[in-house]
Chain A
Amino acid sequence: MIKVLRMEFVFNRRQLAITMAIFSIYFGWMANRIPSPRAFLVLTSLMIGLAIPFGILGREDKFKTASLVCSLPLRRSSVVLAKYAMSWITIGLALIYAIVLTAVLPFARIPLGEILNPKSLLISLAMISLLFSFILPFTTRFGLIGIIIFLVSTQVLGILLLVLGQILGPALNPLRMVIGTAENGIRFVLDHPSTSGFLLTLAASAVVLNAVSFFITRVLYARKEM
């Protein structure tokens, strides 16, 4: 396992470096611009959740090193496990990085306590898990092209909903309903009191999302033809 992890890190290190560089610019900018810790939390999590799988999987697809990796003496499931492990190590580092930047940068306007507490961290992890656990199996099955198609189709869907909303009138506007629901959902989670039950639920959902995602990706990767 260590061997595979090490190999994945070495193979992807340039991508990781670039991702970290982008993060520092982004976090720095956000820490300066966004006074609301909640917004910072949500945006950071979104960014990490999207960037990590893209950055890491995009490379393998681009250079097609999958045939090399799958010719080595290891099981495909080890490769998938290593991808998850590497991703989460990177996510952890990115989070620490974001927090440190916020603490250190002189122009940062977010009080550290607002983000460095269990509830905020767990919410962040849950959100990252939500994105990450969907994107990874999706990219495994459809490749980077699949992600692009997915993004494009969500845009298209958004436009359709917008048009539908114009037709149906403000009361039944589906796009607004979707966005409204999402907003309410996020707000609910952010406002929820920090009971241990709540924290536990957050942690559990993060774990479950990752576990299900892992099993699905493992099957998809095992079937992948190279």
Chain B
Amino acid sequence: MKIIVSNSSPDPIYEQITRQIKAQIINGELREANPLPSIRKLAQDLQISVITTKRAYEELEKEGFIDTVEGKGSFVAMQNKELLREKKMKLVEDKMTEAVEQAKFLGISFAELREMLTLLYKEKD
């Protein structure tokens, strides 16, 4: 599990953590039942407060990304196939929204945007 937190980021640290873990779960880097470091160990490794890692894990658990078992630790939750697909879609959707907003702002037309998308998709194959 790779996590980088930055003090100079405008996002709260716990959010930086949840975002990175979510991304890794969604793109499969972190597989189901993969154990996560304890909140204290993670806090020590990242040199941040335990309260923050605790909050991050609680958020992830609430959103169904991880499970915490008393005495055993935290693990990547069994991902409901539907839910996972939905999450994956959401991730890409967010990126696309960004692109659309930028395009509109810069005056790039829908046709140009669609062409760009087609080219890029073919390129990355």
Contact flag (A, B; Cβ within 8 A): no
- Which B residues lie at the A interface, using CB under 8 A? none
Binding site for B on A (CB under 8 A): none
